[in-house]
Amino acid sequence: MPFIPHTEKDIQKMLSTIGAQSVDDLFDEIPSHLRAKSLEGVPEGLSEMEMIRLMSERADQDGGALCFIGAGAYEHHIPAAVWDVATRGEFLTAYTPYQAEASQGTLQLIYEFQSMMCELTGMDVSNASLYDGASGLAEAVLMSIRANRKSKSKKVLFAGSVHPLYKKVVNDIVRNQGIEIDFLAIDYQNLTTDHSSLNDFSDNDYAALVIPQPNFMGSLEDVNTLTDWAHENNMLVIGVVNPMSLALIAPPGEWGENGADIAVGEGQPLGIPLASGGPYFGFICCKQKIVRQMPGRIIGRTVDLDGKEGFTLTLQAREQHIRRSKATSNICTNQGLAVTAATIFMTMLGFEGLSRVASACHHNAGLLVDKLQAVEGVKVRTSTSYFHEFVLEMDVDIHFVLEAMAEDGVLAGFDLSTHDANLKNCLLVCVTEVKTESDLEIFKQSLVRALDKGER
């Protein structure tokens, strides 16, 4: 889509027509204390030539290295047909079905996506996607406040092992609505939730408990115990899940006696490539009984008067469709392209294909763990069950190790101490199905060289 800016003459002509002296006059109703100040750290604009040169240099930085960084964004093989189909004109230029009846193809695709997400998560209903997993969790928190009629507070309890950036995004979105967030402690021995901390929150009024599976450190939580405890204390349960892992482990709908109430997560593993921070898309699913509190859109399948199958916007409680104050959310969806690719990806692989990918991820991670057990100066901190991510602790400065391995062309992992001082010199390493035996050996040898150079 071309961007053609207005000339100064165009701007003055428009201002003259409406009787305004300047563009700033159009915003004179906004009080000065609410206006954005200057943006520190934002550089001056670049010419087209300079911009293309800069982005080319940055793109080159991403190429060639073996990547073992996960932490919420994962490298998976994407069949070539996925984006060949997704970038066809019919899909590439479609956004969101405002004229629903004229968008039968788009509606059917979203319906198929929702059906697959319900199957994967074990939930009753799925919406038509959100910006990303983090903002999706914020929407789930807001949803739980509305849906839990037994709770009189505006408080939500988080497992401490939730992704730290998810915590930050949720706080940024909900804090101005008077919603408080408390955290369960982390058991640093097992890198999971400390169940003894549950006693500190029993019989307290919380709308929901947020449980990650797997958690930020790759470990698998005892979701059955946590889910049942939350329900016994009149909390809804929000599961934050990696969709790829659900091909191997129990889905949120089967947690505990009655299952989680809401499932949310990042859909990037389902056919979306790593691309320096995007695009991503979030998904959110729930039980039927709280469906009217779900944000976004839900596509339904029906028949017309002639008995022909058709698709329609069944639930659309967004501000475009009803009074803004009555909308469950005004967040925009990401269903136009990212969800199209994810739907094609899941269709091509099927449940068996997803299971094979998930199994290969787990298997490869186990192989690397085995290789590193005997490396002097390295301790595998992950002692419980995990899914394709695990934690290593070094007896040298982790920053030196990361820099030394990067010089070898190996992006070794994520420095956990940047978010948790209790995990000093701890590295979160991710292994997916794309890594070969040779790749794992390269990681090991690069790590050994880095440790030999470091001061212990």
Give the pair of three-digit tokens for residue 156: 């939500």
Does 190 have pLDDT greater than 70?
yes
126 neighbors 246 (Cβ within 8 angstroms): no
State the average pLDDT for the chain.
Answer: 90
DSSP, res 182: E
- CATH classification of 80-345, choosing from 2.30.40.10, 3.40.50.170, 3.40.50.2300, 3.40.640.10? 3.40.640.10
Give the pair of three-digit tokens for residue 311: 């698709």
pLDDT at 297: 79
Q: How confident is the model at residue 419 (pLDDT cuts 50, 70, 90)?
A: very high
| Cα–Cα distance measured from residue 317 to residue 96, given in angstroms and rounded to the nearest whole number | 15
Does 53 have pLDDT greater than 70?
yes
pLDDT at 165: 96
* Identity of the residue numbered 342: A
Does 1 have pLDDT greater than 50?
no
Does 322 have pLDDT greater than 80?
no
What does the pLDDT average to over 306-335? 70
pLDDT at 407: 92
Does 334 have pLDDT greater than 70?
no
What does the pLDDT average to over 230-250? 97
Q: Match 């056919």 to its residue by tokens.
A: 271
What does the pLDDT average to over 314-322? 62
Alpha-carbon distances, residue 312 vs 323, 343, 371, 436 (angstroms): 21, 18, 53, 45
Does 389 have pLDDT greater than 70?
yes
pLDDT at 157: 98
The three-state secondary structure class of 391 is: strand
- CATH classification of 66-75+349-453, choosing from 3.30.930.10, 3.40.640.10, 3.90.1150.10, 3.90.650.10? 3.90.1150.10
The three-state secondary structure class of 113 is: helix
Decide which of 442 and 177 is more confident: 442
Is the CA virtual torsion 284, 287, 288, 293 positive or negative? Answer: negative
Q: Match 């934690």 to its residue by tokens.
A: 391
Residue 437 exposed, middle or buried by CB count within 10 Å (0-12, 13-18, 19+):
exposed
Q: What's the CA angle centered on 351, arms 345 and 357, to 5 degrees?
A: 70
Nearest C-alpha neighbor of 70 from the set 216, 241, 213: 216
Domains 66-75+349-453 and 80-345 share a fold: no
For residue 107, count other CB atoms closer than 10 A to its CB.
Answer: 22
Nearest C-alpha neighbor of 128 from the set 309, 238, 284: 284
pLDDT at 292: 87
Beta-carbon contacts of 452 under 8 Å, excluding residues fewer than 6 positions away, are none
pLDDT at 356: 97
Alpha helices of 95-162 — where are they, by DSSP H?
104-121, 133-147
DSSP, res 38: -
Range with the poorest average pLDDT among 84-98, 395-409, 421-435: 84-98
**Domain range annotation of the chain:** 66-75+349-453, 80-345
Structure confidence by residue, pLDDT tens digits, 107-163: 888 899 999 999 999 999 998 888 899 999 999 999 999 999 999 999 999 999 999
Does 323 have pLDDT greater than 60?
no
pLDDT at 455: 58
pLDDT at 386: 96
Beta-carbon contacts of 416 under 8 Å, excluding residues fewer than 6 positions away, are 217, 391, 423, 426, 427, 428
Structure confidence by residue, pLDDT tens digits, 251-295: 999 999 999 999 999 999 999 999 877 789 999 999 999 998 888
The three-state secondary structure class of 58 is: helix
pLDDT at 176: 87
Q: Match 């809401």 to its residue by tokens.
A: 262
Does 94 have pLDDT greater than 90?
no
pLDDT at 279: 84
Q: Match 């629903």 to its residue by tokens.
A: 100
pLDDT at 89: 80
Q: How confident is the model at residue 3 (pLDDT cuts 50, 70, 90)?
A: low
Does 335 have pLDDT greater than 70?
no
pLDDT at 77: 96
Does 332 have pLDDT greater than 70?
no
pLDDT at 74: 96
Does 213 have pLDDT greater than 90?
yes
Does 336 have pLDDT greater than 80?
no
Q: What's the CA angle centered on 243, arms 220 and 440, to 5 degrees?
A: 65
Identify any residues that bridge with 209 across adjacent strands, giving them in sequence order.
157, 237
Beta-carbon contacts of 377 under 8 Å, excluding residues fewer than 6 positions away, are 394, 395, 396, 451, 456
Does 2 have pLDDT greater than 80?
no
Residue 295 exposed, middle or buried by CB count within 10 Å (0-12, 13-18, 19+):
buried
| Cα–Cα distance measured from residue 432 to residue 430, given in angstroms and rounded to the nearest whole number | 7
| Cα–Cα distance measured from residue 162 to residue 141, given in angstroms and rounded to the nearest whole number | 13
| Cα–Cα distance measured from residue 301 to residue 110, given in angstroms and rounded to the nearest whole number | 11
Give the pair of three-digit tokens for residue 439: 């790749």
pLDDT at 140: 96
Range with the poorest average pLDDT among 82-91, 114-123, 284-293, 357-366: 82-91
Alpha helices of 129-270 — where are they, by DSSP H?
133-147, 164-174, 223-232
